[in-house]
Structure 1
Amino acid sequence: MTAAAAETRNESPEARRPRRGGRWIERWDPEDEGFWRGTGERIARRNLVFSVLSEHIGFSVWSLWSVMVLFMGPEYGIAPAEKFFLVAMPTVVGGVLRVPYTFAVARFGGRNWTVISAAMLLVPTSVAAVVLEPGTSYTTFLLVAALAGVGGGNFASSMTNINSFYPLRKKGWALGMNAGGGNIGVPVIQLLGLLVIGTAGAAHPRIVLAVYVPLIVVAAVCAALFMDNLAPVTNDTGAALDAAREPHTWVMSLLYLGTFGSFIGYSFAFGLVLQNQFARTPLQAASLTFIGPLLGSLIRPVGGRLADRFGGARITLGNFVAMGLATGVVIYASAVRSLAVFLVGFIALFVLTGLGNGSTYKMIPGIFQAQAVRRGLVGEEAAAYGRRLSGAAMGLIGAVGALGGLAINLAFRQSFLVAGSGTPAFVAFLGCYVVCGAVTWTVYLRPAARARRMARTAEAAAAASAEERRHAVYAEV
């Protein structure tokens, strides 16, 4: 018996029985306060820590080519517009992979899939080390960059897995910590790229790859040793169809496209924008690009925590208003070519995307929990319904959000081709934030819609016990 199995059996005889080779938890009820305090919280926290480690390295690999292009000087023969498309390739592949990665957790187990998905990161890093040299064709670079998309898929499986471990009242914080710790992988690899360029020079990109290969091995081994599978999270292909038929899935996809799509798109494009619009050298660009992603990653758990306390929809709406204002600053700075003002506005955008990432992801389980209550479900039955649909929806929503990063890089590419500046692209992004803010208010905060939703929830919950009604409060979005 493994140490984790012994730990859980000692604390709760029903909590675990060996299954399919061990490290399977048979009973998991985080909404039960006694179970959570006595057994669940410690196990959930341990799985969260090693989930963050794996996802962190996944994000680093996903954003690998946003750093590699800084090493690719004139000798590579790749035009600036082609570089925007190159860094977009991992984005689109990662977005598409998020859907199957979501359901891999139920098919293989969260711990098992974390081991597999972490080990798969060795493929894009190893292949990049082979081809990264002048004379390699642009098509080859595109194909190898696409392989890095597996790092983007890790996010969906990691979030789906952690969503199942935590009770609804703590999901905003837990999902924010998991995603924020993963998102930090973007600025970390950018800092490493800066260190390599500043010390060894731009001719040595393979040093970056050499650092990550052993880290990938460590992440896979730690997942195998310290994480767990949840047996109640069973394979359910019907959940995907049910989530896809749910209008809220697509509403939240739009909102997440506005927040996370902006975060990952800006992260990948920041260095290229500085080089092409403000004539920064690779070293100068690298010395600035990590700041925004770092702050945006660190503040994501704060967005989740604020959403836990004040409601995800309120925080999300205020965030889109602020993103619109920050984009206005960036448009002004871009038009007058003021680097200082541009950096202030752009870094503010990064911070706001991080806040919005946390608040929008908190809304997802709350929406489906509220639906469960309106259907007359209570207690664990309602929680199971919410976990089932929110877990499936997260894969679809995460995929659409990631594709927003592709749209941003393509918009920049076209903007620089046509206008020689990123200003037209930022104007388009401003329009997107206005639409996202309007949708948030109309669907989730407009007084008439909110009153109808609360009335339906209150009617459905009227027969629930006091304890069940207390949990229903957390269904507010």
Structure 2
Amino acid sequence: MSRSHVIENWDPEDDAQWESGGRKTAMRNLYWSVFAEHVGFSVWTLFAVMVLFMPQDVYGLDAPDKFLVSAVVTLTGAFLRIPYTLATATFGGRNWTMFSAFVLLIPAVGMLWIMANPGQPLWMYLVVGAVAGLGGANFASSMTNINAFFPQREKGWALGLNAGGGNLGVATIQIVGLIVIALAGNRSPHWVIGVYIVLLVIAGIGAALKMDNLAHQTVDVQSMKDMTRDKDGWVLSLLYIGTFGSFIGFAFAFGQMLTMTFTGNGQDPAQAALHAAQITFLGPLLGSLTRMAGGRLSDRFGGARVTFAVFCGMAVTTVALVVTSNIQASNDGRLSGGALVLFFAAFLTLFGLTGVGNASVYKMIPSVFEARSHTLGLDEAARTSWSRAHAGALIGVAGAVGAFGGFLINMTLRTSYQSSGAATSAFVVFMVFYVVAAIITRVVYMRASAGVDSVAAAPTRSRVPVGAEA
């Protein structure tokens, strides 16, 4: 017998409803949401894997062209996170998860055709990449939907699992690419794309059969509008550009930069692609896993202190990349010995720091609004409601703005390679940004009068899970 996929009168805070089947329903929706979001993130970063199969002499795309396509992919994913946040309330969580999985078949099939027919004009890669960016927007709708299914006391681990499952998709598709290159060589990209076409179909059908729509689900649109006029909204979004924007931007760029490095050291394109694939996945994997450490550190020391330390560390690490890039440029593209080890170590350190920073910035968001709420003269219920609404709205807005950082990373790298043939000037720009972000964190959020870390160090009902980053 078929069952209805619309749930009326859902109230996860009702213990009787929760224990009599509500938890089972919520868990079923969570599992399929994690799977769909994971596959969506993988398709979002599909082009970052395809560059390992795209030698310039075959496909006709040089390094600046590839960085441009990566930038367009990340830009689409960032831009669409706001409408995706509103989509589940409009169309239903089940319906939108179904749609968001099936629509990604378009860029997957498009990329399959392009890879099978080398020599296409750049605009075709840009169009397919732009549509693939829809996979990056899945995070927003998935988090909004799962947030509605769980009671306040269990949102933390549920949203953390949902977000973490999505982040790991960036590393997973790179591992799939590594396996394909190892077994079939760098002329068989169709195997990678074929795997994800199958997974997209499974995600869409699974959502249709196993997930539910919640009647009367709403999103606080007014609070999201308020964030466009809020100083903390802009400042915290800027900090998230530095952490998550760096994570997703470097996730797209790392494989390409490794391939160019190995090619510059005299390896043929096939060898360079294989060696790059063996290492590329480590960066996104490390950045996905370190958010847990970042959350624990933020709980203990406060989100602002951890964020400040992260940006200081990222600035120092980027200095190492400036040094290695200078060496590479002066040696006609060659990078070996200790300089090559330093290049790998610096990039992996940078990825690890972005993960910690993702958690610490998201830790700061509810803490900032909790601290501000005490200055409004509201009663306890109104104060808590204001704090939660504005923190929740900023989580959606910051996720979109932060992803925009991935676009900036790849456009800056593209400009640097176009102007000098090296990434040195791009790394200098990144280093300056991280220094500025550290100063802003120190001045705005680490002052004793701000009270942010004193709130962050104490558990509050409005605290957002430390793992729930995009």
TM-score, with structure 2 as normaliser: 0.85
Task: Let me know the Cα RMSD of the aligned residues.
Answer: 3.1
SS of residue matched to 1:26: coil
Are 2:183 and 1:183 equivalent residues in the alignment? Answer: no
Match of 2:330 in 1: none
Are 2:67 and 1:68 equivalent residues in the alignment? Answer: no
Are 2:283 and 1:292 equivalent residues in the alignment? Answer: yes
Match of 1:26 in 2: 10
Are 2:179 and 1:195 equivalent residues in the alignment? Answer: yes
| Residue 438 to residue 160, structure 1, CA distance change in 2 (3 Å) | farther
SS of residue matched to 2:11: coil
Identity of counterpart residues, as a percentage? 47
Question: Displacement, 1:287?
Answer: 1.5
1:24 touches 1:228 (CA, 8 Å); kept in 2? no
1:373 touches 1:472 (CA, 8 Å); kept in 2? no
Which consecutive residues of structure 1, in runs of 5 or more, have no partner in the other structure?
Answer: 4-17, 458-468
Q: 1:358 is aligned with what amino acid?
A: A
Match of 2:331 in 1: none
Question: Displacement, 1:98?
Answer: 0.8
Q: 2:51 is aligned with what amino acid?
A: V
Name which of structure 1's ranges 165-174 and 279-288 shifts more when overlaid on structure 2.
165-174
2:368 touches 2:452 (CA, 8 Å); kept in 1? no
Are 2:101 and 1:100 equivalent residues in the alignment? Answer: no
Q: 1:329 is aligned with what amino acid?
A: A
Q: 2:380 is aligned with what amino acid?
A: V
C-alpha distance in structure 1 between counterparts of 2:408 and 2:289, whole Å? 24
Match of 2:223 in 1: 239
Match of 2:380 in 1: 378
Q: 1:408 is aligned with what amino acid?
A: I
1:52 touches 1:178 (CA, 8 Å); kept in 2? yes
Match of 2:417 in 1: 416
| Residue 210 to residue 141, structure 1, CA distance change in 2 (3 Å) | same
| Residue 386 to residue 159, structure 1, CA distance change in 2 (3 Å) | farther
Question: Displacement, 1:312?
Answer: 2.4
1:60 touches 1:185 (CA, 8 Å); kept in 2? yes
Q: 1:205 is aligned with what amino acid?
A: P
Q: 2:285 is aligned with what amino acid?
A: L
Match of 1:332 in 2: 323
- Residues 288-317 of structure 1 show CA distances to partners (whole Å, capped at 9, x for unaligned) of 111111111122233234434543223222
Number of aligned residues: 445
C-alpha distance in structure 1 between counterparts of 2:197 and 2:64, whole Å? 30
Q: 1:195 is aligned with what amino acid?
A: I
TM-score, with structure 1 as normaliser: 0.83
- Residues 248-270 of structure 1 show CA distances to partners (whole Å, capped at 9, x for unaligned) of 22111101100000000000001
C-alpha distance in structure 1 between counterparts of 2:354 and 2:152, whole Å? 23
Name which of structure 1's ranges 158-167 and 35-44 shifts more when overlaid on structure 2.
35-44
Q: 1:55 is aligned with what amino acid?
A: E
**RCO comparison, higher one (Cα < 8 Å, 6+):** 2
Equivalent residues in 2 for 1:24-423, closer than 5 Å: 24-29=8-13, 44-73=26-55, 74-132=57-115, 133-165=117-149, 173-231=157-215, 233-278=217-262, 279=264, 281-336=272-327, 337=335, 338-372=339-373, 374-375=375-376, 376-379=378-381, 382=383, 384-423=385-424
| Residue 424 to residue 256, structure 1, CA distance change in 2 (3 Å) | same
C-alpha distance in structure 2 between counterparts of 1:170 and 1:428, whole Å? 41
- Residues 217-240 of structure 1 show CA distances to partners (whole Å, capped at 9, x for unaligned) of 222233334444455641443232
Question: Displacement, 1:45?
Answer: 4.6
Name which of structure 1's ranges 230-239 and 86-95 shifts more when overlaid on structure 2.
230-239
SS of residue matched to 2:279: helix
SS of residue matched to 1:136: coil
- Residues 142-166 of structure 1 show CA distances to partners (whole Å, capped at 9, x for unaligned) of 1111110100111122233334455
C-alpha distance in structure 1 between counterparts of 2:59 and 2:285, whole Å? 29
Question: Displacement, 1:346?
Answer: 0.5
Question: Displacement, 1:131?
Answer: 2.6
C-alpha distance in structure 2 between counterparts of 1:309 and 1:452, whole Å? 10
C-alpha distance in structure 2 between counterparts of 1:61 and 1:194, whole Å? 16
C-alpha distance in structure 2 between counterparts of 1:251 and 1:443, whole Å? 9
Q: 2:7 is aligned with what amino acid?
A: R
Question: Displacement, 1:360?
Answer: 1.6
1:260 touches 1:357 (CA, 8 Å); kept in 2? yes
1:107 touches 1:235 (CA, 8 Å); kept in 2? no
Which consecutive residues of structure 2, in runs of 5 or more, have no partner in the other structure?
Answer: 328-334
2:365 touches 2:395 (CA, 8 Å); kept in 1? yes
C-alpha distance in structure 2 between counterparts of 1:387 and 1:225, whole Å? 33
1:243 touches 1:393 (CA, 8 Å); kept in 2? yes
